[in-house]
Amino acid sequence: MRIVSTVCELREYVKTWRSIGKSIAFVPTMGNLHAGHLQLVNTAKKKADRVVVSIFVNPTQFGAGEDYETYPRTEQEDQRKLQAEGADLLFLPSVAEIYAPDARTEVTVTGLSDLYCGASRPGHFSGVAIVVCKLFNMAQPDIALFGLKDFQQLTIIKTMVRDLNIPVEIVGVDTVRELSGLAMSSRNGYLTDAEKQVAPKLYHSLCVARDAILAGNLAYADLEQQASQFLQQAGFQPDYFSVCRSSDLKKAGAEDVELVILAAAKMGKTRLIDNIYFSR
């Protein structure tokens, strides 16, 4: 696996591969790689000839008082895992390589960026959208892969790509879970042992709501309230629990069939998000 840190070097590799007819898959990450990330790389390998992975802890998607400084940075370990997984190129840029000091351009997917996680983390999704847009322009991949665990992020990226005519196919990859059901996340490392015992209840609450809907209960507001109450009693501080249309994340109505239930809750200091999507 080659490792580069400049856009120029990245483009050289991509140009060479393209010149010999190779297709390119891209997996953007913030590092601290777990089985969920490796699943993205593994899927990417099946879909394209060359796999480029980026590791960049993107400052613009962290709000004031969030964990930008303390976000786990495990570069050596990440490199080893990517090498073992068969990635072809690792892009490891500095902040200065990505952002000009006087950068002025913003990317905001209105109507989506300010909902759910965006309501609790103002500016977060504009930070995600600008960095992903820039990384696409830098790597110019044929396809890019993102975890379905971050369902709202994936919806925002798909919408941005459509609206800006970015020539990349976006592929969502299933969430990888611990045996307990807890969705893999770099932030799980913040959980204490005791919190780790309770954290799987977030996924459990999603499964209970889904099963109720599949059994014919369409009283979504009641289901949302019951789930929030359950989470609170289990020791979470629920942020949102929302039954949505999976196409545009608007609140689901009785006529909607393709659904996603989005949830976020704090367990101690750790913000956990998860979702479940299904057809009714």
Compute the least distance from the CB of residue 57 to ligand PAF, in Å.
Answer: 8
Q: Which stretch binds ligand PAF (CB under 6 A): 74-82, 125-133, 169-177, 252-260?
A: 125-133
Compute the least distance from the CB of residue 255 to ligand PAF, in Å.
Answer: 32
Compute the least distance from the CB of residue 12 to ligand PAF, in Å.
Answer: 23
For residues 162 and 12, what is the distance between their CA atoms, to the nearest angstrom? Answer: 27
Strand pairing category for 50-55 and 24-29: parallel
- Positions of E strands within 43-158: 50-55, 89-91, 143-147
- Would you say 39 or 58 has its CB closer to ligand PAF? 58
Q: List the Cα angle 112/161/40 in 5-degree steps.
A: 95
Residue 261 binds to ligand PAF (criterion: CB under 6 A): no
- Would you say 30 or 223 has its CB closer to ligand PAF? 30
For residues 52 and 15, what is the distance between their CA atoms, to the nearest angstrom? Answer: 13
Give catalytic status of residue 37 as yes or no: yes
- Would you say 129 or 202 has its CB closer to ligand PAF? 129
Binding flags for ligand PAF, 11-50, as an x/- string (CB under 6 A)? -----------------xxx--------------------
Residue 224 binds to ligand PAF (criterion: CB under 6 A): no
* Radius of gyration for the alpha carbons in the chain, expressed in angstroms and rounded: 19
Q: How many helices (H) and strands (E) does the chain have?
A: 10, 9
Residue 128 binds to ligand PAF (criterion: CB under 6 A): yes
Token look-up 């609170």 returns: 232
Under rule CB under 6 A, which residues in 138-197 are in contact with ligand PAF? 150, 153
- Would you say 150 or 224 has its CB closer to ligand PAF? 150
Q: 113, 114, 117, 151: which is closest to 261 by C-alpha?
A: 151
Check 34, 37, 124, 204 and give the catalytic one.
37
Compute the least distance from the CB of residue 28 to ligand PAF, in Å.
Answer: 4
Q: Which two tokens stand for residue 51?
A: 């796999």
For residues 102 and 96, what is the distance between their CA atoms, to the nearest angstrom? Answer: 11
Asked whether 136 and 164 are in contact (CB, 8 A), the reply is no
Which of 32, 39, 58, 79 is close enough to bind ligand PAF by CB under 6 A?
58
Which of 107, 131, 176, 199 is close enough to bind ligand PAF by CB under 6 A?
131
Q: Which stretch binds ligand PAF (CB under 6 A): 11-19, 38-46, 124-132, 243-251?
A: 124-132
Sequence-distant (≥ 6) Cβ neighbours of residue 61 within 8 angstroms: 123, 124, 125, 127, 128, 131
Amino acid at 137: N
Give me the active site residues, please.
37
- Residues engaged in binding ligand PAF (CB under 6 A): 28-30, 58, 61, 128, 131-132, 150, 153
